[in-house]
Structure 1
Amino acid sequence: MSRQDPAPPPPGGVLWSLAGDIRGLLMLPAALTMQVAHPAVGAGVDEHSVFRTDPWGRGERSLRSLQLWVYGGEAAAEEGRRLRRLHRTIQGTDTRGRRYHALDPQYYSWVHATGFPVYRYAACYLYRPLTEAQERQLYAEWLQVGRILGIHDRDMPGTIEEFWPYYRKVLADEVEATAVVEDLIATDRPVPPPDRGPLLIRVPLRVLWPVVLPLFARFRRFVTIGLMPPEARAAIGLPWTDQQERRLRRFGRVVRAVVPLLPERLRYLPPAREARRAARAARRDSP
């Protein structure tokens, strides 16, 4: 890492706890759906992504990238550069007739910005509500991740107080139920069976996929809409009932009770486990 490279968030921070915990997997669909609800972002994904033909590979690559931003150390900045190179050629015209480029600050920043309100809201169900101090720390760490991705400070609100007006304006002026949003929450679209992971799981899943897919699709829709902040859900026009809210609260209570009891090898994703192990070793070796 050069002296000019932004550093990832510090060990022991709020993101350090949230991003690598398996509960984070439940939050990602809500953030992704908010991102592609912006017509320019949705058009870019619709025209340039392989999320329909290779959803598992696309998801694995996105998750690996996110883990590097937080736990990658010196590799974090290089991952940010790789992502910018990948997005340089992504451009076109959105459904409102506007030209877009994936690295245009207003679009690139929105993609990143969605993570903060989703982490903040979903934590109330899957962990516990963040304190005001934790919210401020989370936002500061999310800005730091943005620097890794090449987002300039001038292109993101610098404080929480500045974030919420920006966020509400994008919700009011931009987001809608794009074609990609509809795909991500649909329960009747074809999805290929998982093509990665342990053979002991992958092979039976391939056989049982016609039975498993409808259950998976309904659960994906449930957590995508349910863990999305209500103001974003309403702006996009996604339905959510009182009965679904009660189910989500029951689900959250089970998750909060079970996940903390899991051993570290099951509770944390591999990059987070390795980073946590390295941090403990560094503390032991320090004078």
Structure 2
Amino acid sequence: MKQHDPDPPPPPVGGILWDTAGDIRALLALPAAFVLQVAHPAVGAGVDDHSVFRTDPWGRGERSLTSVMLWVYGGEAAAEEGRRLRRLHRTIRGTDPHGRRYHALTPAYYAWVHATGYPVSRYARRYFAEPFTPEEDRRFYEEWLMVGRILGIHDRDMPQTPEEFWPYYRKMLAEEVERNAVVAELTNPTRALPPPPGHHPLLRFLWPVLRPALTRSMSFLSVGLLPPEAREAIGLPWTPRQERRLRHVAALVRLVAPRLPERFRYLPLARRARSAGTSPSNP
């Protein structure tokens, strides 16, 4: 009987991702990472053709966030979540705007979706927390590779060190990423965002007032937390005035977030895992 390879392990308890992935500050960088993902023509086409990001953005966001938390804090459930995502993406295929056939699990496309988390996370950290030291940055990248293995990405399809990553990243920015319909929609400050499902009657009443402020904020963070070279490659404008505003927001976050009790600073699954000192599915 053929032996199955053991499941790839999740990032280590007490590691860089253990401390950062579930921190509420990490949420602020997610819109920018999504924009960089979909700036790839194949990924953007897949999202445009198959995603519910327009009709159910809240549900999609919640499911994506739960998935990310499981990769890091899920213990034995991490590998199963990776398998679930691969099953989900098996039927996602089509033609991109350049007439090229795509499949969501094509290694180059699948790896790019994962890879974007590294440059966006480390860039956003410069605003909201202390930047990583060179040693911490290397450990962060090593743990991000571990997440890639959980997702089913082979080592041959991922740069194996930070030194290998940056030439790959610059090549993708120069040759692949572009501003497309999905990028334009996600960065539109007047985007037609539906209200959260099951919302309170008061929220329904206030939504016409709240929605413009929320969509402007999402657009602002989506563009502002992209590394400058990525903004330039995609063709997204960013002014000195906007940069000053982002730094003011970041200063407030840096002041408040570290002083919050852990029960407010970490998302629920991360908080439970950290409280137990191990992954929730493990003894």
Match of 2:212 among 195, 211, 214: 214
Q: For 1:266 and 1:113, how far apart are their aligned partners in 2?
A: 29
- The equivalent residue for 1:260 is 258
Match of 2:156 among 145, 154, 157: 154
1:281 Cα shift?
Answer: 11
Q: For 2:278 and 2:77, how far apart are their aligned partners in 1?
A: 20
1:204 Cα shift?
Answer: 2.6
- The AA in structure 1 aligned to 2:146 is Q
Identity %: 67
Q: Secondary structure at the match of 1:143?
A: helix
Q: For 1:144 and 1:17, how far apart are their aligned partners in 2?
A: 16
Alignment TM-score, normalising by the size of structure 2: 0.95
- The equivalent residue for 1:50 is 52
- The equivalent residue for 1:59 is 61
Unaligned residue ranges in structure 2 (runs of 5+): none
- The AA in structure 1 aligned to 2:167 is P
Which aligned pairs between 1:21-100 and structure 2 lie closer than 5 A?
21-100=23-102
Q: For 1:281 and 1:50, how far apart are their aligned partners in 2?
A: 30
- The equivalent residue for 1:191 is 193
- The equivalent residue for 1:102 is 104
1:189 Cα shift?
Answer: 2.5
- The AA in structure 1 aligned to 2:33 is A
- 1:141-166 superposed Cα distances (whole Å, 9 cap, x missing partner): 00000000000000000111100000
- 1:199-234 superposed Cα distances (whole Å, 9 cap, x missing partner): 6xx443222110011101111111111111111011
**Does 1:245 find its partner at 2:251?**
no
Q: For 2:98 and 2:48, how far apart are their aligned partners in 1?
A: 14
- The equivalent residue for 2:178 is 176
Q: Secondary structure at the match of 2:29?
A: helix
Q: Secondary structure at the match of 1:23?
A: helix
**Does 1:223 find its partner at 2:221?**
yes
- 1:114-161 superposed Cα distances (whole Å, 9 cap, x missing partner): 000011100000111111011101100000000000000000001111
Rate the CA distance shift 1:217–1:10 in 2: closer, same or farther, 3 A: same
Q: Secondary structure at the match of 1:7?
A: coil
- The AA in structure 2 aligned to 1:92 is G
- The AA in structure 1 aligned to 2:170 is R
1:66 Cα shift?
Answer: 0.3
User: Would you say how many aligned residue pairs link Structure 1 and Structure 2?
Assistant: 278
- The AA in structure 2 aligned to 1:145 is V
Which aligned pairs between 1:12-23 and structure 2 lie closer than 5 A?
12-23=14-25
**Does 1:4 find its partner at 2:6?**
yes
- The AA in structure 1 aligned to 2:83 is R
Q: For 1:281 and 1:224, how far apart are their aligned partners in 2?
A: 31
2:13·2:279 contact (CA, 8 Å) conserved in 1? no
Q: For 1:16 and 1:206, how far apart are their aligned partners in 2?
A: 37
- The AA in structure 1 aligned to 2:18 is W
- The AA in structure 1 aligned to 2:38 is V
- 1:152-201 superposed Cα distances (whole Å, 9 cap, x missing partner): 000000111100000000000011111111111112221111125xx6xx
- The AA in structure 2 aligned to 1:167 is Y
Q: For 2:264 and 2:204, how far apart are their aligned partners in 1?
A: 23
Rate the CA distance shift 1:220–1:281 in 2: closer, same or farther, 3 A: closer
Q: For 1:89 and 1:186, how far apart are their aligned partners in 2?
A: 29
- The equivalent residue for 1:277 is 275
2:120·2:225 contact (CA, 8 Å) conserved in 1? yes
- The equivalent residue for 1:205 is 203
Q: Secondary structure at the match of 1:100?
A: strand
Rate the CA distance shift 1:160–1:280 in 2: closer, same or farther, 3 A: closer
RMSD: 1.6
- The AA in structure 1 aligned to 2:241 is Q
- The AA in structure 2 aligned to 1:96 is H
Q: Secondary structure at the match of 2:94?
A: strand
